[in-house]
Amino acid sequence: MDFEALKKYSALHPKPAGLTLQYGTAGFRSKAEQLDHVMFRMGLLAVLRSKAVVSTIGIMVTASHNPEEDNGVKLVDPLGEMLHPSWEEYATQLTNAEEQELQKIITEICQKAAVNQHKDASVFIGRDTRPSSETLSQSVIDGISVLGGQYHDYGLVTTPQLHYMVCCQNTQGQYGKATLEGYYEKLSKAFTELIKQSPSSGESQRHLKIDCANGIGALKLSEMEPYFPKEVLVHLYNDGTKEKLNHLCGADFVKVHQKPPRGLDMKPNERCCSFDGDADRIVYYYKDATGHFHLIDGDKIATLISIFLKEQLAKVGQTLKMAVVQTAYANGSSTRYLEETLKVPVHCVKTGVKHLHHKAQEFDVGVYFEANGHGTVLFSKAAETKIRQMAKEEKDDEKREAAKVLENMIDLINQTVGDAVSDMLVIEAILALKGLTVQQWDAVYTDLPNRLLKVQVADRRVIDTTDAERRAITPPGLQEKIDALVKKYKLSRAFVRPSGTEDVVRIYAEADTQENADALAHEVSLAVYHLAGGKGTPPQP
């Protein structure tokens, strides 16, 4: 390893004094001007990771739904999954190292992770549309090059597209072709096959208004439009030509504020959806005849997909095990509907996509979504092989047709990560095949009223949780207090958890009425303030 060259190049990407960052679920995120050294060093780390696993690694430059002036970076592991937790630790160490420690830390990583210096390294790079992304991805390239790695720069892509390319590359094309055309062709072919089967329900059914968060989703959807069958009429809004990324728009804005984005005018009962800034989350919504806004979040998306897959699996008659994975934030009504009405097992895990993805891998068919609209479906190798075999060879017509539908679903779903484009096509196909309107979908169950709050604390680490973050173990007395408060309200539950990113404690409460959910959330926030070292003035109702 050429440590002289490393020293020379590293000096061109100096670390700001006193800055420390932590690699979390979303990789690194910060103000764009603080990230030059991080990008260079993540280029270095990707080369080491690639040599360690002898596979192509991905690097995505994006800060997703954060404001336009922020940026970030995350690494993608060989099968398109998130970076292995032990390497998250290395990423943090390498980023925070002082200039003179770089060589030592790289040597330590190589020893700990058994990095074979003689192997070739290959890295795929992608970036979002932020003004800072191009310069920052150049810093990534500097890092890759100084350690002699090969790279392919895909330029502007959605985050899920980069995950897809990495998976295609490392499965030697079994998952698909590692090009944008390959991605568009695979998805549009599966989608076209699926909607061929749909009872034609008039033109109006196929109109969909999409808020692209003024981000990369708009660019990639316009590229993909020629591949769509003519029945699909998508109308793009917030396409990035006029306004700022994520400003008063995008999936996160719509979910948090429970209102439509700026720049999209909604007529009653029109189907609309929003992507986030890097197109890995999606939420749907509509206005009813009285002008009331209805949000259809990740829980309801998971439910629609589960209903459909369960019907198809019943038709093929295979004993394939299906389950839904949620977090504590999932609305109680969705959990109740899935378990009691649909009779599908539901598993609750800690917040964070990697926990959901990991749990979903335990089943033949694992559906996972966070309430924020990030999610996908995983099929086990055995289930996929069985389904593809039946689609080809099954003699019974009904079973074979159902297997073909499932086979196209497998091809339409991006199994590497939540993908707004893929999820949107899955939802559109299911609504078409079942002849459902957006209102009928929304009416499957009624969400329990809920409220999210946060309380500032001196140190978020005083709160420790168990049972997938649904119960607090410390500070003493807090959980007992929450239990007593919950007993006062009907259909209620509440939990608290420390934020992953700032010194705040997040509070979630739900109950039979909005008034009760608000009251419960407020009472729990007071308990947190008093028992967990709240800062500033006590929470006001």
- Out of 10, 50, 64, 188, the active site residue is 64
**Residue 298 counted as an annotated binding residue:** no
Q: Is 370 annotated as a binding residue?
A: yes
Answer yes or no: is 276 a known binding residue: yes
Any binding-site annotation on 32?
Answer: no
299 carries a ligand binding annotation: no
3-state secondary structure 263-287: CCCCCCCCCEEEECCCCCCEEEEEE
Question: Is 501 marked as binding a ligand?
Answer: yes
User: What SS3 string covers 146-199?
Assistant: HCCCEEEEEEECCHHHHHHHHHHHHCCCCCCCCCHHHHHHHHHHHHHHHHHCCC
280 annotated as belonging to a binding site for a ligand: yes
Q: DSSP H helical segments within 260-380, as ranges?
A: 298-316, 332-336, 353-360
Confirm if 56 and 169 have CB atoms less than 8 A apart. Answer: yes
Is position 532 annotated in a ligand binding site? Answer: no
In sequence order, the β-bridge partners of residue 473 are: none
Number of H helices, E strands in the chain: 18, 19
**b/e string for 421-445 if b means 16 or more Cβ within 10 A?**
bbbbbbbbbbbbbeebebeebbebb
372 is in an annotated binding site: yes
Q: Is 98 annotated as a binding residue?
A: no
Evaluate whether 238 touches 213 at the Cβ level (below 8 Å).
Answer: yes
**Cβ within 8 Å of residue 413, ≥6 positions away:** 376, 377, 379, 422, 423, 426
Active site residue 86: no
Q: Is 497 annotated as a binding residue?
A: yes
Is 423 annotated as contributing to ligand binding?
A: no
Check the annotation: does 400 bind a ligand: no
**What radius of gyration, in Å, describes the C-alpha atoms of the chain?**
24
If residue 141 lies in a helix (H) or strand (E), which one and from where to where?
A: helix 133-146
Cis ω for the linkage preceding 475 (within 30 of 0): yes
Tell me if 448 sits within 8 A of 332, measured CB to CB: yes
- Output the known binding site: 64, 276, 278, 280, 370-372, 497-501, 506
Task: Provide the annotated active-site residues.
Answer: 64
- Output the known binding site for substrate: 370-372, 497-501, 506
- Output the known binding site for Mg(2+): 64, 276, 278, 280
